[in-house]
Copies of this chain bind each other. A is one copy, B any other.
């Protein structure tokens, strides 16, 4: 039986999972690929650190050259994280004709097209299923199963940390800060959670999903990103009363043959499948012109789910090696699309305001709305404290240009603070 030797960069959570899974499911993998897959060398920072995974027969090194210069190693799994150093290593490995599998969304979202071309030039595969939505095989599914369809929209819960926090806030009536702390204690949020809670992690994933769904390359600057740090429990409860769950959604949408990509808190009608996705789980809803709505749900992170996605990439590379068909792009669909204009991106909105209790305030708010030609669906005013009222409005559909105008006008009003301005998905 052909033996294929594998190198690994990084031995954190996912790296350990890959070692474990490859060992545990050796027989099944051999029966499918006709090959024996063996990890030969793993590059780590600290050679002396104690590891809780069986590494017998595997060489540890702190030199990437031990992988680059080893002709026996055919496939390298990059699960070390970082962007610039990982890019340097991956380039050197591709130039040494190693096939690359990475779970590094930051790397792919930033340098994906460059690395894809380098891989092609060297006849190498470059796969990265684990970079989006951990255990959900969404990228390969888009490539294989939506090839004949025209995708209209991809939207989803692609960050487990923020979904965990929002779920806890909603279910246990706790503040953002308390939910974050619990998430950190349970390991669902990192010590520095910025990338997750500010929506950056979700944005990177939406960049990759946009490339797969629409064939279009966009940069982080082109994604409108809002995090969840300013989401108030009061608004989660208010939305609930109106029949919605607030979720951090990434949305990539085709509008008049242009694409709009955003990440932010969104009101999702509670009878829609995305609204039911709880805690650290992820889900991606793909709408095709022909197929309609399909949803893919599963664990968004974690050692074994993510490692399983890495393994499915390893098996795909192995099949390509056996069939001598390596070197084709993970995603072959490319189109030159432009970004949608704010005037064409239309949603209903949920506004939540803190309004100083003084005569004429509601008139001014109404005037600000009317000036932007925006119309209410409902207005709810409640007492907030001695001096302030809470005003919640949901609107009919308006363009993002109108919404910007409304928010700007509301912010300029004396005694009015805009707490929330969230999109509302249609029922």
26 of the cross-chain contacts (CB-CB < 8 Å) are A29-B148, A31-B333, A32-B147, A32-B332, A137-B145, A140-B141, A144-B144, A144-B316, A145-B308, A145-B309, A146-B312, A147-B312, A147-B315, A148-B311, A291-B304, A291-B305, A291-B309, A292-B304, A293-B298, A293-B299, A294-B296, A294-B297, A296-B296, A297-B297, A323-B323, A325-B325
The residues of B that contact A312 with a CB separation of less than 8 Å are 144-148
Chain A interface residue count, CB cutoff 8 Å, equals 52
Does residue A334 face the partner (Cβ distance < 8 Å to B)?
yes
The residues of B that contact A304 with a CB separation of less than 8 Å are 290-292
Q: In the complex, which residues 276-314 of chain A have their Cβ closer than 8 Å to any Cβ of chain B? A: 276, 288, 290-299, 302, 304-305, 307-309, 311-312, 314
Is there an interface contact between A308 and B293, defined as CB atoms closer than 8 Å? no
Does residue A129 face the partner (Cβ distance < 8 Å to B)?
yes
Nearest-CB residue, chain B, relative to A306: B291
Q: How far is the CA of A296 from the CA of B142 in the complex (A)?
A: 13
Known pairs A295-B298, A297-B297, A323-B323 / 12 extra A-B pairs, C-beta < 8 Å: A17-B290, A25-B149, A32-B333, A140-B144, A144-B144, A144-B316, A146-B312, A148-B308, A148-B312, A273-B273, A291-B305, A295-B296
Does residue A150 face the partner (Cβ distance < 8 Å to B)?
yes
Q: How far is the CA of A304 from the CA of B25 in the complex (A)?
A: 38
Closest 9 CB pairs between A and B?
A148-B311, A137-B145, A294-B298, A290-B304, A295-B297, A135-B291, A291-B308, A290-B308, A147-B315
